[in-house]
Amino acid sequence: MAKKTKRLLGKKEIKNGIKKLAQKLNNDYCDTSPIFVCILKGAFMFLADLIRELDVPIRIDFLSVSSYGDSSRTSGVVKIIKDISIDIEGEDVLLVEDIVDTGLTLSYIFDFLKRKNPKSLKICALLEKKVRRTKKIKIDYRGFFVPNKYVIGYGLDFCEKYRNLPEIDTMEF
């Protein structure tokens, strides 16, 4: 049976939020050529729209991780499935993530990339839930705060479905 969903962020809101993020990034990275590391799979749509608003000469790489846990809660045990291919030593790096919940996933990835000695390492997350945070982590660029509900669409899945939705909805269980 289809799950009940409720609209959280429409196309226009997402677009405007991304434009604001891009303005800040254009400003902060104006003198450099940062490497954007997109966390797969959830952040692919966000990355694609974000970079089209940028006028700095960015480079792009992808990191694929799996997180053990049930469908709505991560355990913090993260496995790197695909590492990045660009050498980030001495480079300005921006991690591009879909959503931060407990912070466990991003905290693991941050430490993993930090060991590769980038010049700078910052985080850009489209969505942030504040309630269940167990790891203190600085989100340098954030699109939206969202309530403590399971969200889908715009790259975010439920059992690998709904990633293609152009809006972001909450899903009732």
Measured at the CA of 79, the angle between CA 77 and CA 82, to 5 degrees, comes to 160
- Whole-angstrom distance, CA of residue 111 vs CA of residue 120: 13
| Segment interacting with ligand 5GP, rule: CB under 6 A, options 14-22, 86-94, 113-121, 150-158 | 150-158
Element housing 35 (H / E): strand 35-40
**Residues 105 to 124: which contact ligand 5GP by CB under 6 A?**
105-106
Residue 143 in the binding site for ligand 5GP (CB under 6 A): no
Query: Would you give the binding string for ligand 5GP spanning residues 57-96, x where CB under 6 A is met?
Result: ----------x------x----------------------
- Whole-angstrom distance, CA of residue 151 vs CA of residue 36: 24
Choose, by CB under 6 A, the member of 102, 122, 128, 168 that binds ligand 5GP.
102
| Beta carbon nearer to ligand 5GP, 29 or 108 | 108
| Minimum gap (Å) between residue 124 Cβ and ligand 5GP | 13
Give me the helices (H) in 2-133, please: 11-28, 44-51, 104-114
| Beta carbon nearer to ligand 5GP, 5 or 74 | 74
**Residues 29 to 58: which contact ligand 5GP by CB under 6 A?**
42
* Known catalytic membership, residue 92: no
Do β-strands 141-145 and 120-128 pair in parallel, antiparallel, or remain unpaired?
Answer: parallel
Measuring CA to CA, which residue among 154, 155, 157, 158 is closest to residue 168? Answer: 154
Q: Which of 101, 111, 140, 157 is catalytic?
A: 101
The gap from C-alpha 19 to its chain's centroid, in whole angstroms, comes to 16
* Chain positions contacting ligand 5GP, by CB under 6 A: 42, 67, 74, 97-106, 150-152, 156-157
Active site residues: 101
